[in-house]
Amino acid sequence: MAVETLVEKQKQGINFVMKKGDRVRVKESVVVYHHPEHRGKPFDLKGAEGEVVDIVTQWEGRPVSANLPIQVQFSKKFKAHFREKELEII
């Protein structure tokens, strides 16, 4: 992680334990409607495992405070955003 990125996150009060590349498991019940195999129907991701691919702190170069900042890739076709408390590192 670049020093300036770390400093920017500290200025914003962001202190994530997780980082890009971490393997995580969904530990709380999180229902989504955009899963490719269950499109338009409720699908609970509790227990699903994936990899952190991004932690959203900026948009178009400006700092943002995203409600669901951690983006997790579960399969080639499926990603979802989470709060840190909804995930656990495995």
Residue 10 has pLDDT above 50, yes or no: no
Torsion, Cα 65 68 74 78, to 10 degrees, reads -90
Per residue in 15-64, pLDDT tens?
A: 568 899 999 999 999 999 999 999 889 999 999 999 999 998 888 888 88
Place of tokens 């669901």: 68
DSSP character string of 36-48: TTSTTS-EE-TT-
Q: Hey, what CATH class is 17-89 in?
A: mainly beta
Query: What letter represents residue 48's amino acid?
Result: A
Q: Locate the domains of the chain by residue range.
A: 17-89
For the segment 63-88, the average pLDDT, to the nearest whole number, is 92
The whole-model pTM stands at 0.77
